[in-house]
Amino acid sequence: MEQANGAERLFGTDGVRGTANREPMTPEVIYNLGRAAGYVFGKIGTDTVLVGRDGRLSGDMLECALVAGLCSVGISVCRVGIVPTPAIAHLTGVLSAKLGVMISASHNPYEHNGVKFFKADGTKIDDDLEREIEAAYFGKAHQSVNPTGGAIGRVVERANVVDRYLHHVEQTVPRDFDLSGLTIVVDCANGASSQTTPRLLQHFGAEVVTIHDAPSGLNINEACGSQHTESLAKAVAAHLADLGVAHDGDADRAIFVDERGNRLDGDHILAICGPHLKERGRLHGDVVVTTILGNLGLDLTLNPLGIRVARSDVGDRFVWEEMRSIGASLGGEQAGHVIFAEFSSTGDGLITALQVLDAMESSGKPLSELRRRLIVIPQTTRDIEVPAKPPLEDFPAIQQAIKRAATALGDRGRVIVRYSGTEPLARVMVEGEDAPQINALADDVAEAIRKAIAG
């Protein structure tokens, strides 16, 4: 648990995260988090909470604790088992729940886990609700609510609800959408997409080769998935496939590999889908939203096509908030969270895969050719493990290193230094025209952080 502006915090940029069975991801904390969330949402009329999870080993333990906490303050729970995160976002409203909860650590190793909350409209809860839950948790306000008898919450199990999610996703492409003749390799990251993406691509006629589709609870994201596309590229080559798509453990991301083995990240997806939607009159406001880490090449690629690029803080929740504030229909981040507002209010790896395939089929061009649309400005990143996350501005040596890098780049590059919201990391991103220069500058800033914070 962290301090922020003098107040204790449970939530990071994407829910509550940590190593399973270590604070804050212990059964005791999650039980009381369930009670605090139930207390807050019970006050605004929540009847039922939808709870799903990915397949990591600790999911059973933490789900039991969360469900017990919710029921103990009178909130009933509908358990839907292992499903993708975007399925929870969609199904919360469809199944008339007032709150959805996903137990997942997304792209992180199996030792980690997390809890994300969704409102009935499929959006992640906002800062105000997070702070209200934290206030109830730390202030122990939930201790005043201890119903008995028939007022205790009930638990129901709903099997096969993923079919309702897949039916929704199926409606996001044209009626004549046909993948016959395409061979697609799908890397399921040994996660929740194992039961969704291969099935729907086959439904549309594709020949599908699946890899890393045998979840054991211990192998989620292990040397596979959206973070590790080496095996996907090899499988695409081995099967002479037209492309490959990789999800993360909870399937809210999609990263692609073209038929030549080249990787396409979220910036490539925006550069492909932005013009495609504009041609079809579906790019509202002629604007695409990315984050502050989005490659500056997006501006160079899209601006000449009459498409403006707007930027948000890092995290698909912040991308969505910026999209909503300016009325955008497309947004995303490099990591592969892409939001198509017509169909979802959060990143959805399966919807993203279908939209890229639709753009590809509409153009009649291979993915390698579409990939070349993006003008890429060299970027380099450094991740530095840190024991804590004190304010970076409190360290003169770090600020001096950042200033040196910014001065060296002038107006032809950027330096961004931030803490990860989901991992114990400080992250450095340097962007500029000269690859050796930006690598040297990134190393300098990273070393300053190591000496000042990491020890």
DSSP string, 219-287: -TTTT-GGG--HHHHHHHHHTT-SEEEE--TTS---EEEETTS-EE-HHHHHHHHHHHHHHTT-SGGGE
Q: How far apart are CA 11 and CA 37, in angstroms?
A: 12
Q: Look at residue 305 and give its three-state secondary structure.
A: helix
The Cα-based distances of 96 to 54, 238, 304, 435 in angstroms read: 22, 45, 44, 52
CA-closest candidate to residue 162, choices 154, 152, 170: 170
CA dist 346 and 167 (Å) reads 17
Under 8 Å between Cβ of 231 and 212: yes
Give me the sheet containing 112-119, strands edge to edge: 16-19, 112-119, 99-103, 48-53, 76-82, 155-157
| Dihedral sign from CA coordinates of 286, 290, 296, 301 | negative
**Residue positions annotated with a catalytic role:** 106
Burial annotation 348-378 (CB, 10 A radius, 16+ → b, else e): bbbbbbbbbbbbbbebeeebbebbebbebbb
Distance CA 182, CA 382 (A): 37
Question: Left if phi > 0, otherwise alpha if psi is -120 to 50, otherwise beta: which for 184?
Answer: beta
d(CA 384, CA 424): 8
**363 — alpha (psi -120 to 50), left (phi > 0) or beta?**
alpha
CA 236 to chain CA mean position, Å: 24
Buried b (16+ CB within 10 A) or exposed e, 204-235: bebbbbbbbbebeeebbbeebbbbbbebbbeb
Element of type H or E holding 207: strand 207-211
